[in-house]
């Protein structure tokens, strides 16, 4: 095992990280990353910095699982990412420790749950697409016709007024790609 790195999080700025810091120091962490932000927040600078620091063979330690994962799904994704990067994981309260055989079993169960969830999503998506096809829907955007008023306006603006693509985009509230596509029709 290389480095032992800790991650601690509290939801509010006025809350203290001391309890978690103490537990992480006791677990042997030589570096601790922190966030004072809601767990529901997607962007957590401390967690991002922690993950960018971790190297294969390192051990990531958290006080409790709910400090790192926003939801079970997010936690499973994080566990998978750690496994792929060959990073060990330990949660002091839940006694999950991938440096042990039992901990690896739990860690692998997370990976199996994630794979199962991905399979269910694939099956549901495929079933939805098949049902739509059976009703005559093929998916994708409806093609824009050359007689569409926006297409005609974009063509006129480009040809007659010599307007730049940027000006046409701004005037018609269209993307550059759409304007180029319309002008080519």
Task: Please identify every residue annotated as catalytic.
Answer: 11
SS3 letters across 136-176:
CCCCCCCCCCCCCHHHHHHHHHHHCCCCCHHHHHHHHCCCH
Nearest to residue 70, comparing CAs of 39, 93, 43?
39
Nearest to residue 60, comparing CAs of 71, 50, 52, 46?
50
Strand 96-97 versus strand 88-91 pairing type: antiparallel
């Amino acid at each position: 095992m290389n480095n032992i790195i800790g991650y601690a999080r509290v939801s509010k700025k006025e809350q203290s990280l001391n309890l978690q810091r103490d537990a992480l120091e006791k677990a042997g962490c030589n570096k601790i990353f922190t966030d004072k932000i809601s767990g529901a927040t997607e962007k957590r600078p401390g967690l991002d910095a922690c993950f960018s620091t971790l190297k294969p063979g390192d051990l990531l330690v958290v006080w409790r699982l709910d400090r790192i994962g926003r939801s079970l799904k997010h936690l499973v994704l994080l566990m998978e990412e750690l496994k792929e990067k060959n990073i060990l994981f330990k949660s002091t309260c839940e006694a999950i420790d991938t440096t042990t055989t039992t901990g690896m079993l739990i860690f692998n169960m997370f990976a199996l749950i994630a794979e199962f969830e991905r399979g269910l999503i694939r099956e549901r998506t495929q079933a939805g697409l098949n049902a739509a096809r059976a009703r005559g829907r093929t998916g994708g955007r409806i093609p824009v016709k050359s007689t569409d008023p926006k297409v005609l306006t974009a063509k006129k603006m480009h040809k007659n007024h010599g307007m730049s693509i940027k000006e046409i985009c701004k005037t018609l509230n269209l993307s550059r790609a759409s304007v180029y596509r319309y002008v080519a029709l």
